[in-house]
Structure 1
Amino acid sequence: MADAARARKLAVRIQEIVAENLRTQVKDPRLGMVTVTDVKVTADLHDATVYYTVYGDDADRAATAAALESARGVLRSAVGRQTGVRFTPTLAFTLDEVPTTVNHIDELLAEARAADAEVQRQAAGASYAGDADPYKHDDEDDGEDAPAAVPDAAAVEAGIDTAGRSGR
């Protein structure tokens, strides 16, 4: 088993090699505007999953997937030549769903902003159902006589009056 740092370094190197070879070596007309976004390498360095995005519609994505599958051997040979590892990892290509997820999250955030704006619009003309401040405060006179404060026996012995000042 290789350490995680070595697997990350190999993944970065594989990403660079695959992207460069797709740009320069692979001349498949089905290959659309593809971007290699990430590579994940297993801990034993035997398998690499290459994540990619394609600019275009579903037909372009399908054509690019077919082109990448047909160029898998050429790309694996280039990875083996340029990495110098004992065992060249097998390559698996997976369409990266991050851009689709980002678009979905953006739509949800727009809906939330619209709902917040609607709530603020409704709250602008609203008034309280009862009094503005329905809570009772200590400084208000409720009409009843409040009981007088009884001085603490320990405070009287120490010479402190009820206002907290020392009598000495």
Structure 2
Amino acid sequence: MAGQRTQQLADRIKVIVAQMLERRVKDPRLGFVTITDVRLTGDNQNASVFYTVIGDQKAVDDTAAALRSATGLLRAEVGKQLGTRITPTLAFFLDAVPEEARQIEDLLAKARESDERVAQQSAGAQYAGEADPYKHKDDESAEDE
């Protein structure tokens, strides 16, 4: 029961922070940011907010700086909208999952290309010896006769 409430609070914090970044935070350093996940500690006192940024490393760094400077405003709004006794502290973390997924996709594409090359090379290939080099019981009984 407590886990479900914690998840509901985390989901609510995710929505509040995303709306605030879209509507109220006017920092020019803030890039195209997406809040991907929020995880609360068991006592609901600390919230880890995960985000992604579209752009180069400068956009990522600028967005991180903008989020650090807006943390107080965001936490105040979270506390106001949640109405809980304790307002959780907010800590922002760049979500590495999309970047890792892209790297995995690149590796899979390379593996597919390699498989296709091997298939093309082996298309006209023939066995060096017999097609089936193993002895079978049928062969042994024929030799015995």
Same fold, judged at TM 0.5 (above): yes
Aligned to 1:108: 107
How does the TM-score come out when normalised to structure 2? 0.92
Partner Cα distance (1:111, 1:24) in 2: 42
Larger relative contact order, structure 1 or 2 (CA cutoff 8 Å, min sep 6):
2
Q: What amino acid maps onto 1:96 in structure 2?
A: D
Superposed, 1:12-161 pairs within 5 Å as 12-140=11-139, 142-145=142-145
Distance 1:37 1:143, change over 3 A: closer
SS in 2 for 1:53: strand
Distance 1:83 1:138, change over 3 A: same
Deviation at 1:121? 1.5
More divergent stretch after superposition (29-38 vs 11-20): 29-38
Structure possessing the higher radius of gyration over alpha carbons: 1
Where do 5+ consecutive residues of structure 2 fail to align? Answer: none
Partner Cα distance (1:28, 1:133) in 2: 71
How does the TM-score come out when normalised to structure 1? 0.80
Identity %: 53
Where do 5+ consecutive residues of structure 1 fail to align? Answer: 146-168
Aligned to 1:162: none
Q: What amino acid maps onto 2:111 in structure 1?
A: A
SS in 2 for 1:71: helix
Partner Cα distance (2:54, 2:123) in 1: 44
